Amino acid sequence: MVPPPTRILLISGSLRAGSTNTALLRTAQTLAPDGTIAVVYEGLGELPLFNPDDDTVPLHPAVADLRKQISQADALLFSTPEYAGALPGSFKNLLDWTVGGGETYGKPVAWVNASGSPTGAADAHRSLRTVLGYTGSGIVEEACAHIPVVRSAIGSDGLIADDVVRQQIADVMSALASDLQGRVQPPGPRG
Ligand SMILES: Cc1cc2nc3c(=O)[nH]c(=O)nc-3n(C[C@H](O)[C@H](O)[C@H](O)COP(=O)(O)O)c2cc1C
């Protein structure tokens, strides 16, 4: 029997229309390996400012949608810029909403650093690792990569056409998919 496809939720930390991070993830969506469905999360700008007092039922619809999309995903792939040596506030806000929900607990996660400079965004990614530790996510180290993307690499379709970059992105998606496959438990003996 063909197993159901695994689902990877792609979350960009940038709200910018011409974002390199979002372009990378949109390209990743088109490069999802066989047996994998990749979905780009679109709701970053709709999330209310995190307030623990508001982490109650009924949740803000944007928060409920975020948590539902994370629950439905088998893995998460992040790509975020760094602002002033840290994670962008809007993206940290998203991460804060994931702490109380518990949907990320044990969830395989990885990130791609799209910074155009070889040492760029290192502080943001150190911080992301710390935050993900608090959310209980399982970091898939083999799928974390620095794939520099310059703004001129984004085509009019919003995707990255460069073959070298596309291969690097495809490798990340394959690494994440392989990790998920390794986690699938074979069916036990029928009694
Ligand atoms: C306000 C601001 C602060 C930034 N601070 C940093 C920084 O501390 N480190 C860094 O590597 N890049 C920094 N950058 C550069 C961004 O990370 C870079 O423009 C990146 O392409 C933005 O991602 P995006 O294209 O997905 O929007 C900063 C950009 C802005 C607008």
pLDDT for residue 189 is more than 80: no
- Give the pLDDT confidence score for residue 184 in this predicted structure: 61
Residue nearest to atom 18 of ligand 1 (CA): 81
**Token pair recorded at residue 50:** 């995190």
pLDDT for residue 186 is more than 60: no
Q: DSSP alpha helices (H): ranges in the chain?
A: 20-30, 61-72, 89-101, 122-135, 163-183
How much is the mean pLDDT over the chain?
A: 94
**Token pair recorded at residue 87:** 């994670």
Residue nearest to atom 2 of ligand 1 (CA): 83
- Give the pLDDT confidence score for residue 98 in this predicted structure: 94
Q: Which residues contact 49 (CB under 8 A, 6 or more apart)?
A: 93
Residue nearest to atom 31 of ligand 1 (CA): 83
Single pTM value for the model: 0.95
Mean pLDDT of 137-147: 96
pLDDT for residue 109 is more than 60: yes
- Give the pLDDT confidence score for residue 185 in this predicted structure: 54
- What are the angstrom distances between the C-alpha of 135 and each of 122, 169, 187? 20, 25, 29
Which residues form ligand 1's pocket by a CB distance below 6 Å? 14, 16, 19-21, 81-85, 115, 120-121
Which atom of ligand 1 approaches the CA of 18 most closely?
25
